[in-house]
Structure 1
């Protein structure tokens, strides 16, 4: 009986690892399904120590920002078995952050995105095409 418990515990703690670039591309795919605007994947490897990729996008309304965030979370969980470490900024909908570990996602209301201009922090960083 103790062997059965051990096996169950191993299954429960086993977690598939997904390449960070695959996660970033899946984020954009899910966001575009919710009509996200100007999704951009920024390769920040070697530039920051908290992530490999930063994904930035926007929505036209608070409601759309919330829908994009929920769509991304659902898609990554259902299709790739990846859960967010944390989500901040909901339900307000001006700026939401989803932390997937090596991939950090910023979903802005389009007016808020222009104000903060996060992409300018990494002007020298490579961009990853969603077509890759």
Structure 2
């Protein structure tokens, strides 16, 4: 498997004028999800396993309105930081919403859908990233 060499994975300046790394984007997405009471928020380091993206953020909600609120909260938080959403898969009726920020892909599931697809088991070899729910 070929790894990306010398990839500059920075985003546009946010409110403070700083640029975020892909890891910082993943952590901010996880914190935004946590702020919307998402369950079992996990960041997986995908770099050793695929060239498609650097990090997965996986989380779930108890209801469809909560799933939508989590996804919107992540989009809004990252937009404030100058991170552009490249693609969104899923609509207001979806039980799985995917947010593609390039080097970070966020999966927001309804809890039953998360159990069914079980991405953590599928990507079990991906290291988990430690993060703090509270932005410092």
Q: TM-score, normalised by structure 2?
A: 0.82
Match runs of 1:6-85 below 5 Å: 15-16=12-13, 17-78=19-80, 80-85=81-86
Matched-pair contact (CA < 8 Å) for 1:61–1:93: no
Give the structure with the larger helix fraction. Answer: 1
| 1:13-68 per-position Cα deviation (integer Å, ceiling 9, x unaligned) | x9344200000000011001110000000001020111000111000001000000
Kindly state the Cα deviation for residue 124 of structure 1 after the two structures are TM-superposed. Answer: 1.6
Which has more radius of gyration?
A: 1
Match of 1:6 in 2: none
Which range moves more in the overlay, 104-113 or 121-130? 121-130
| 1:83-132 per-position Cα deviation (integer Å, ceiling 9, x unaligned) | 21011112113000000000000000000000000111221211001229
SS at match of 1:127: coil
Superposition RMSD in Å: 1.6
Give the distance between the partners of 1:63 and 1:85, measured in 2 at CA.
23
Q: Which segments of 5 or more consecutive residues in structure 1 lack a partner in the other structure?
A: 1-13
Match of 2:92 in 1: 91
Number of equivalences: 118
Match of 2:5 in 1: none
Match of 2:123 in 1: 122
Q: TM-score, normalised by structure 1?
A: 0.84
